[in-house]
Amino acid sequence: MSEELKQQQGQLPRYVALIPAAGVGARMGANSPKQYLTIAGKSILQHTVNAFLNFPGVAHTYVVVSEDDAFVDDYLLAADGMTVLRCGGATRRDSVRNGLAYLADKLDAQDWVLVHDAARPGLTSALLQKLIDQVGSHVVGGLLALPVADTVKRVINGKVETISRDGLWLAQTPQMFRYAMLCAALDQAEQVTDESSALELMGYAPLLVEGHACNLKVTLPADLLLAAQYLQRNK
């Protein structure tokens, strides 16, 4: 029996994407949330969602926006493999947890949830496959990340010191964890900036899978041009 048939019969865990997109992107200084700014005629969010819609290994993509989001209908095309959830919260953690609550009757405990930043439009199928392959059946899960290459400085009370970059990584997304474990971790962590942090607080050690610079998070105006260059290159 093929792996695909086994998955259809519920014998293998499924993979779903969850994209929290309720943020306002204040640092971008734009008139709309940054995920709705456009690159090459498409919103950043559309590029982000397309990365999952074009990857057959992901069964469905869920986009979490705020209840009063006035942009999503105009900047994100409807698709059979995608559902928009208007249950976004005040923080990323809240939006992800609210989205997971919606999926309670749709996912099994061992299904994988890939949480991805709405403003990372450069995710590729190759990176997705690499993450899924390397995480495999890992007991916790894992995330894409980049090893720190530059010299790291820290300033405390005006004093500058150099920090060893050995073992330092920059977290990216997707961050991929089992549904039940992720729910439990977020229930116990009220203030975290990513899902891996919540698992770490429970004593787990997620797997770090080396990502790529193309998967940058658009945060500042200059990032738009860089993201556009990567998207053009990855066509």
**pLDDT digit string (tens) for 113-153?**
999 999 999 999 999 999 999 999 999 999 999 999 999 99
| DSSP type of residue 11 | S
Q: Which residue has the higher pLDDT, 131 or 1?
A: 131
Give me the pLDDT at residue 23, please. 77
Give me the pLDDT at residue 235, please. 77
Angle between helix 44-53 and helix 125-135 axes, rounded to 10 deg: 50
Report residue 137 CA to chain centroid gap. 19
Contact 110, 189 (CB under 8 A): no
One-letter identity of residue 54: N
Give me the pLDDT at residue 6, please. 45
Give me the pLDDT at residue 24, please. 66
Cα 235 from Cα 227, distance rounded (Å): 13
Domain boundaries along the sequence of the chain: 3-233
C-alpha pair distances (Å), 87 with each of 90, 109, 144, 173? 10, 21, 26, 21
Contact 93, 190 (CB under 8 A): yes
What are 88-104's pLDDT values in tens digits? 999 999 999 999 999 99
Contact 156, 119 (CB under 8 A): no
Give me the pLDDT at residue 3, please. 44
Nearest alpha-carbon partner for 88 in 116, 64, 118? 64
DSSP string, 46-72: HHHHHHHHT-TT--EEEEE--TT-SSH
What are 146-198's pLDDT values in tens digits? 999 999 999 999 999 999 999 999 999 999 999 999 999 999 998 899 999 99
Mean pLDDT of the chain: 93
Nearest alpha-carbon partner for 176 in 141, 206, 204, 144? 141
CATH 3.90.1150.10 at 3-233, yes or no: no
Per-residue confidence at 28, pLDDT binned at 50, 70, 90?
A: low
Cα 119 from Cα 35, distance rounded (Å): 5
| DSSP type of residue 206 | P
Q: Which residue has the higher pLDDT, 194 or 2?
A: 194
Contact 24, 119 (CB under 8 A): no
One-letter identity of residue 94: D
